[in-house]
Every structure is written in structure tokens, then in C-alpha cells.
Amino acid sequence: MTGAEMITSFLQYYDRITNFTAKGYETSEILLFLNNAQDDFVKERTFGMNFQPPAFDDNEKRVADIRPLVEFFVMATSVSAVYGNSVVVNPYDTDSSFMYCMKLDVRVTRTNPVITQEYLPAKNIRLEDAGNFKNSVFNRLWFKNPVYFGARDSGIFIIGDYYTTTMDSVRINYVRRPITITAATTEFDGTYGIGIMSLEPHVHQEIVDMAVNAARGAGREQKSQIEVVEEKSRTK
């Protein structure tokens, strides 16, 4: 679908499930629902609904659904002493559309076991757990695979154990942010750019359905709030 066709589909589906009894929405409001739905669609396909399986790697359909947004690049690291033996990368500097890190491998040289410039998969951890992996000459932690956590402003921090001597490069598999849908958006053509649908046509109706359900829920909530206000007015 094009952006205009998604708006038309939204209106048709919304009118049908509400029997023309619910409030209407302006084009700007419909686009807000569509873009929120597109973001939710990508998040669910990446991590699973409510972060429950199946997630991206567990289901071929999920891979196909967001395939146009899946990217990969290699970048050098910068030394960071914030977390002991640690380095940092900022993928947003390489691709401003960077949205979700799916997999991160680090090129490591270490002494125990001996590894020379080999890529090892890194394990994602929570920021609050980072201190547990900070080592020093007094706390010689051993963990073969590096760990990492990310924050948008400061980039992704990667921590190695005491026996890791260098972590000089990373390979990142990630999901890009979908381009905003507008009334002028054209059909998906395999490219990533402003004014073009970011996802393939087979997922467009599902995004519309999600947007309609969100709009319907918003309409019910607004109606309930109005009824509460009216009831309070009657009882004064």
C-alpha cells in the first residue's frame, strides 16, 4: 500500500468495526496511529510480543516481516575506562536510523584462553549489572565472552575480563527505524528513504489493523472519560 491507501484502509476498517458509531479522525490523527502501529510492529517482530517468544531469530515469518530494516556493519572501538577493561562504540554515528541492536560480536585478543583477533559473541546485560563485570588488579574477573549494554546518548559499552587485552572492532546486526508514513508515501520498492514505505506490502494491512485497534481503544477511553465528567456534572 501507499500512505494514501493505508489511510483509506484505516477509514474503511474503522467504520466497519464501529458500525459508523464512533468518532471520526482527522488525517493527521490517522497517520499518528499508523506510525505508532508501525513502530510497535517492528518492536514486536524484533523482541516478541510483550518481550515474550517467539522473537526475531525464533520464527522465519518474523525475519521476513522486517527484513528490509535489518542491517549490518563493522566499526572500530574507542577505549573507555569507565567500566574498567572496557571500550565503547556509537552506532548512531554510523547510521542515524539505528534502532535496535540484535547481535553484537567483538574482535578479541586475550591470554586465557589464548585468542588472537577473533570475533566472539557478546552478551547483553542491564546497565545496573555493569558494575558486576568491572575488574581491576585486585578483582581479576574471568569471563570468556565480553558483555555489553547500550544507551542512546553515549553509545554501546563493551566490557572484557581481566585476561582480555584488546577489543578493537565490533560487528553489529541491527534493526533500522522505519521511515515515517505520510499521505504522500509511495509503495515499497526495496530502497530505504524518505517518502517510501519501509516495509514490504504483505505487512501493511497488519499495521493498519493494529492502528485501527489502537484508535478504537482510544475512542472508548475518551467516551468513558466524557461519561464520567457528565455524571459528575449531574450530581452537583
Residues 1, 204 contacting (CB under 8 angstroms): yes
Domain ranges of the chain: 3-56+199-234, 67-176
What is d(CA 181, CA 112) in angstroms, rounded to the nearest whole number? 51
Q: What is the mean pLDDT of the chain?
A: 87
pTM: 0.82
Q: Please choose, from the candidates 211, 208, 189, the residue with its C-alpha nearest in 3D space to the C-alpha of residue 199.
A: 189
Give yes or no for a cis peptide into 113 (omega within 30° of 0): yes
What is d(CA 186, CA 201) in angstroms, rounded to the nearest whole number? 11
Residues 130, 132, 133, 137: is their CA dihedral positive or negative?
A: positive
Domain 67-176 class?
Answer: mainly beta
- Model pLDDT for residues 205-233, shown as the tens digit of each residue: 999 999 999 999 885 554 444 343 334 44
- Model pLDDT for residues 37-57, shown as the tens digit of each residue: 999 999 999 887 766 665 665
